[in-house]
Each structure stands twice: as C-alpha cells, then as structure tokens.
Structure 1
Amino acid sequence: MDAQVLVVGAGLAGASTAWRLAQRGRTVVLVERDVPASAQGSSHGSARILRHAYPERLYVDLVGAAETAWTELSALHGADLVTRCGALDFGARRDPHGLAAVLADAGVEHELLAREDARDRWPGIAFDSDVLWHRAGGVLDAGSTVRAMVAAARAHGAQVLQGWALSRLERTGAGFTAHAADGRTVSAGRVVVCAGPWLPDLLGELPLPAGFLAALPTLTVTEENAFHFPHREPRTPWPTLIHHREDICLYALPGGRDAQFRGQKVAEFAAGRRLRSAATRTGRVDAANRERVVEHVRRFLPGLEPEPYAETTCLFTNTPTEDFVVDEADGVTVVSPCSGHGAKFAPLLGELAADAALRTGSVPGRFRVGSSRA
C-alpha cells in the first residue's frame, strides 16, 4: 500500500492530521495500533476542558484559531462537539488578574470577580482568591471528536488501518517503508508520527537525524488519576474550573457520559506516577492521590459529595515546559501536542502538523525542536 503521507496514531492529533492532509488533496494512510480514540492512548472519553485562559498570548491566540476549526468540524459532524458551560480560574498561584490581562489584550470576553461575589454566583464552590470567569469555556467530547475527524479524513479519501502497530520505520529511496508488528508494510513519501504516550518507545525506531533527537525535549509519560464526584443538587449547572493553590493544582469539569452525567470529573494536574511509555501503564489508582483530591473536594467544592463514585487513570505525555512539539526533519514529522492541555486545539493540530510535514505555513517557533541537527 502506497501513500503520499503516512500518519501514525489515530488519537486527537493523528486524526486531525489525517483529515487536514487529505483535505489538502494528499493521499493519506492513517494507522492505529488499536482503534481510533483508543483507551490505550490519551484521546478517549467525553470530558476535556476547552478554555481560553493562558498566561501567554501565543496559546490564547491558538485557542481563538481553534474555535473556528471547532465550528467547521462540528458542522461536518452534524452536532456540537463542545458544550459551553463557562470556565473559572482561581487560587493564589493561578493568578486570575494576570490571566485577565492576557485575555483583555487578546479581546476575549471575561470577568474578574471578588471571591464573595463569585461564591454568590456559584455557591457550590469555596473560593480562596479573586476569580476569573470566561463564558466561552466549556467541555469537549474527545472520543466523538476523533471519530468525527476520522470520518472527515475518509470523506477526502484517506484510508484507515486499525490494529496496525508501528514497530519500525525504514528509509527507502526517496521515501519510507513502515513496518507493523505483524509484518504488514506501508510505503509513503512522508511520515507524521502522532503516537502520544507510545512515542518514547518509537523514537529509537524512527530514522531521525541525531541532532534532531538530541534537541528534542524530554518526553515524560505519567499515569494520572481522575475521580468523579456526584452533585449534591443534580440539576445545578457547573462550569469547568482550575484551582491552583500553593501546594496543589486541581481541575474539575462536568463528566459527561464518562460519569453518566451525574457529577464532576476532578483531578490533580500532572501528579501521576512516571512511566517509560504507555506500554507500562498499570491502571491502578494512586490511593494517596485519591486522598488529596477527596480532601480538596471536601474543603473547596461543597456542592459535591466528597466520595467518588467512579475513578480511572489516564496518560499524559509531558515536555519540561508544557509546550508542544510539532516539527519535521528529513521527511519525518514528530507531533506531540501534550502536557495535559492539547485537546482543546484538536481540529487545529492537523493544520499545524500538515504545515510542518509539507513545509508550508508557519508553525510557532516554540513548537520547533531547534536548529541543532546533524
């Protein structure tokens, strides 16, 4: 099987990349070791935060660009993929005033509220600082988004191969031959690797220049914990929130179908156990982490029952700065829009990856690996 571009991994990044490349008229093969939006990766489930609040203008502007792409994708899908419920940011280390200044500079509608006024508006939350509120925040359905992008890629002629696990990539002539673990092969002129938490295991099997690999930020995979807490008043609407105190950073959002629409998904940000890659995932919830999250819910989220009715683990792939990696070297593009905050950019990620792979457009310099290549 031949393609102009092979895309490895059918999570949010890979599905988006296949869609955008096929949309540009390239012949595309998308391979996935399991099924699109697999629970083996980081792109399954119904509950991810979409927010505009970032301390840096780069990401605020990218969220704005992603909003246009969400509208496009939802129209293709025939239903909204984002549920707007608004977003709250508070806590001494979250710096709501600093975030508000960045949103103001970017022209994003928002409010800064005193903690007493915020408590009147959201009595189920105990605020410990002034509060940033922006109405455009919401919850995106990751699994449905992946499936919508895969359908859009197929509509433009892309082929999708499931149960196809890349074991190594070989440079052959002017292109590449990708070898699956079961012996199958795909030939392609260019390759885009969007392997998420499987990427650390694959890097050594990719024909990348030594300088590129040396300059690549360290990718750390962690197994995070998430808990679902029931609402005390089930019909009360809840926003998403990020609460960053001196000693802990937690986020919460409506859990959607993952939680039978009964409560909030609450988790400590980037506090999981370190893994070699997705291959060493345990599936075990950390009891100490559960205790910290339950105590936080008891103190700061009185609108929730402080006993989780469901819990799970998920995978983050982190860079030291929490910036993304989107860069190409000698025909191979590495895409890792990671560090626990990439989902909101999903329909835009493919544009960035396609620009990198085809050497067109402009990928933010912060996402480039660097110039120290062999």
Structure 2
Amino acid sequence: MSQQTPRETSEYVVIGAGLAGSAAAWKLAQRGYEVTLLERTTPANATSSSHGSARIFRYAYPEPFYADLVKQAKSGWDELESIVGTQLINPVGAVDYGPTRDPRNLANILEQVGIEHELLGAAEARERFAGIAFDTEVLWQPGAGVIDAEASVLAMVAQAKKHGARVENNWPVKSIESTATGYRIHAEDGRTQDCAKVVVAAGGWLPRLLGNLSLPSGFVSGIPSFEVFQEQAFHFPYADSVPESMGAWPTYIHKAAEFQSYGLPGGRDADFRGQKVAEYKGGRIMKDASEQDGVVSAANRERVINYVKTFLPGLIPVPYAETTCIFTSTPTEDFILDETNGITIMSPCSGHGAKFAPLLGDLAADLATGAAGVPQVFRPGSRAASLLV
C-alpha cells in the first residue's frame, strides 16, 4: 500500500506578500497564530505593487477619516523601525497644491486631527522649494516622507517568520475550495494547502481570483469593480547636483483639472540622483495584473516631460530611467477589507495604501480572528450580503 504525502496545513493562510499581505502575516504571527504566507513569485518582486524604494508617506487627505488613519499607521511604522533597527520612512516632507487639490481645506483637516503642517503662499513656497513652480497655495507637511517599500516588505516578512510563520515563494494561487474543516487552496501547478481561514491580499491579481474563492454570490456582488492600471514613472535628474540641494526635495501631489501629477525622491530606484515623477492614472487599464507587459507609453512619457518643463524647473526634463508598476483602484478609492465565512479580502489599493501597511495588518488580523471590527466603509461585500438576507 503506497504512503500518501502529508498535505500541508495551517491555521491561517495569507495570499500575497506585498505590503498588505506581509503586514497581515506579521500581525497574525505576532499574535501567536499559525500562519503560512503564499507568494506568487517573491516578496516585493518587480511585477507587484510593492516593489522598489519609493512610495509616498503623507498625511494630507480631504477628509479626517483617512488623515487620522495615517496618524494611527505612523505608530505601526515606528514600531517596525524600532524592531528592525532600520529607517523605513525617509522624512523629506511633502507639499500638496494645485487648483483642485485645495490646500487650505487640507490644512483645516490636518488641524482637526492634530498633524503638524503649514500653509504657504505660492511665492513663499517657491522661495523654500526653488525647484517647483507652484501655481496655488501650498500645504507643507514636515512629517511626511518616502517609504522604502521593498525594505518594508522584507522587514515584515522577516518578522512574520521570526514569530513562526512559514513563507512559500513561487506559489501562484489558482482557486480556493471549501472543505469540512476550512479551505483548500490550489496552486496553478496543482499543489494544495489546507487551512482554517484565509486572508487574500493579491493586489492586481485579485480581480482574476475573485470568482474562484468560494465566496457567497451576495458578498461578491457587493465588491466594487476594480481598475488595474499599468502606471508609468520617470526619473528626472536634479539640475543642482549638490548633495544638500538634492536632499532638500520633498514629495509632492499637484492636482489641476487637466493634469494630476505626483513625485518623490527616487531613492535606490533612481540611484539617489533624481526625482520620480508620474501622471496620476496615466497608464493603460488592464483586466488584471497578468496583462502587464512593462512597455512604457511614448504618449505618457511626452506628457510627463512637458509637465516637468512647466512645473518642475529644478529638474532636467530628460528622463534617465523609467519603469511601469501596478496600480489597482476602486471607484471611490476606498480600501476593501472585508470578511465572510473565514475568508478575508484585503485590497488597500487606489494608489494610496502603502502608507497604511502596519495598521492594515492589525485591522486584517482583527477581522480575520474576530478580535475586533473594521470601519464599515471598507466592508462593501458584507453590506451587500446583508441586504439579501
């Protein structure tokens, strides 16, 4: 009689080792749960949304809800930096401006939630940040900065492993089926993994997986449609190469009716010598992340170059490097953090989720274990399902 190979089992499985998934695995393992983290390729890989060294950490939001969440998230970043002994957020500060950004309203919001800030006139801001041609009042946030996404993912994965989590790389998930004791997760190559509960943090691959997760139809009907963009970012060299001048560049968000742009010091991604500049939602829309091809749009490149010529005179308007990345968005730009029958869906997307990673790990752990709830705005599936009862 042949002996069967024992099937892998785990109390919790987290699917996806990006910023969201690695945070969830860390927090679950930190609380003493048995955790397996399944990653499609490797943590923070170049085809994911969490690679590279440059993501914006900012407090400015047009409503107190998200601004206060950033304040809470900062405590999680401080904890992680203290544990690993490495700086993960470079505090370069941030400026927000533009006719449709409404810096004055943003300043009022930050005043409400107790975040240090300053509202500057355009001329005063130009004197302070000579490389940027401001066209409105400017909100300055000295506590903002740049997240090293890759280092953060690797730090949280390491912490998850330190607390006993098992990490499986090159484990692309195809589907989940319910079993008598929980769920069986199927890989694209036929491997399986059994568990009691699942956290799905699949990023740009979530739209592809949703129909194969053993979720109730009423729950799935409430999940909003996703737009998955292949965004493009361009690195422009600083015109003034003096280290002090290069180090004085903040992150920025500039919104006008005809063009929305964001930029930040590129860090390792740009050999520490340039600013990463992008058009907000300027890439092509895909069905899911599997359709990415890494090809930069010539038209998008031209639009960004023209923007740099007009609004960023402190940069040489010739990109020396360029890249694509995955940007997944919901119609309202709210996150999805919802649970049903032991499956937690975690999609802190819409281009602004990175800064919340440690907090979202705690929220996902709360929701998955039943320890506490999460804001109802993050639970569209549960709201939809309740209407069908």
Q: Which amino acid aligns with 1:350?
A: G
**Matching residue of 2:186:** 179
Rounded to whole Å, the distance in 1 between the matches of 2:225 and 2:114 is 34
SS at match of 1:316: strand
> 2 CA distance for matches of 1:216 and 1:126?
41
Residue aligning to 1:324: 335
Instruction: Verify: 1:333 aligned to 2:333, yes or no.
Output: no
Shift, 1:2, TM fit: 1.2
1:372 and 2:381 aligned: no
Corresponding residue for residue 261 of structure 1: 272
Out of 286, 289, 292, the position equivalent to 2:303 is 292
Partner residue, 1:214: 221
Structure 1 stretch displaced more, 358-367 or 229-238: 358-367
**SS of 1:372's equivalent?**
helix
1:352 aligns with 2:359: no
Q: Residues 178-197 of structure 1 correspond to what in structure 2 (within 5 A)?
A: 178-197=185-204
Return the offset for 1:158.
Answer: 0.2
Report the alpha carbon displacement of residue 204 of structure 1 after superposing the two structures with TM: 1.1
**Equivalent residue, structure 1, for 2:4:** none
The worse-fitting range, judged by mean Cα deviation, of 351-360 and 125-134 is: 351-360
1:158 aligns with 2:165: yes
Distance, in Å, in 2 between the alignment partners of 1:309 and 1:39 is: 19
Instruction: Name the SS for the 1:371 alignment partner.
Output: helix
Aligned to 1:51: 58
1:314 corresponds to 2:325: yes
* 1:198 counterpart SS class: helix
Runs of 4+ in 1 over 4 A off after TM superposition: none
Per-residue deviation at 1:372? 2.3
Q: What's the RMSD between the two structures over aligned residues?
A: 0.8
2:92 aligned residue: 85
Cα separation, 2, equivalents of 1:120 and 1:15 = 41
**1:355, CA displacement in angstroms?**
1.3
2:315 to 285, 304, 308: 304
Give the letter aligned to residue 330 of structure 2: T
Deviations 1:234-288 (A, max 9, x none): 2212000011112111001000000000110000111210101111101111111
TM-score, normalisation: structure 1: 0.99
Per-residue deviation, residues 30-59 of structure 1 (Å, max 9, x unmatched): 000100111121000000000000011111
- The secondary structure found in structure 2 opposite 1:99 is helix
Residue 60 of structure 1 and its aligned partner are, at CA, apart by 0.7
Q: Which amino acid aligns with 1:22?
A: A
C-alpha separation in 1, matches of 2:371 and 2:281? 34
Aligned residue runs from structure 1 range 26-41, under 5 A: 26-41=33-48
In the alignment, the residues of structure 2 paired with residue 321 and residue 187 of structure 1 have an alpha-carbon distance, to the nearest angstrom, of 35
Query: Which structure 1 residue ranges, 5 or more long, are not aligned?
Result: none
Where in structure 2 are the equivalents of 1:87-236 lying within 5 Å?
87-234=94-241, 235=243, 236=245
Distance 1:14 1:96 in 2: 33
Which whole-Å deviations, capped at 9, do the CAs of 1:71-118 have from their partners, x for residues lacking one?
Answer: 111112211100000100010000000100000011111111110111
Identity %: 54
* Residue of structure 2 aligned with 1:66, choices 48, 73, 96: 73
- Report deviation, 1:359: 2.0
AA matched with 1:328: E
Mapped partners of 2:99, 2:275: distance in 1: 23
Partners in 2 of 1:346 and 1:187 — Cα distance? 26
Counterpart residue number, 1:18 = 25
String of CA shifts for 1:293-328, please: whole Å, max 9, x gaps: 111100110000001000011111110000000000
Counterparts of 1:346 and 1:109 in 2: how far apart (Å)?
21
User: Following the alignment from structure 1 to structure 2, what is the Cα–Cα distance between the partners of residues 204 and 361?
Assistant: 27
Distance 2:45 2:192 in 1: 22
Name the SS of the counterpart of 1:148 in structure 2. Answer: helix
Letter paired with 2:367 = A
**Distance in 2, Cα, partners of 1:163 & 1:205:** 19
Q: How does 1:276-291 map to 2 (within 5 A)?
A: 276-291=287-302
Q: Which runs of 5+ in 2 are unaligned?
A: 1-7
* TM-score of the aligned structures, taking structure 2 as reference length: 0.95
In the alignment, the residues of structure 1 paired with residue 180 and residue 305 of structure 2 have an alpha-carbon distance, to the nearest angstrom, of 57
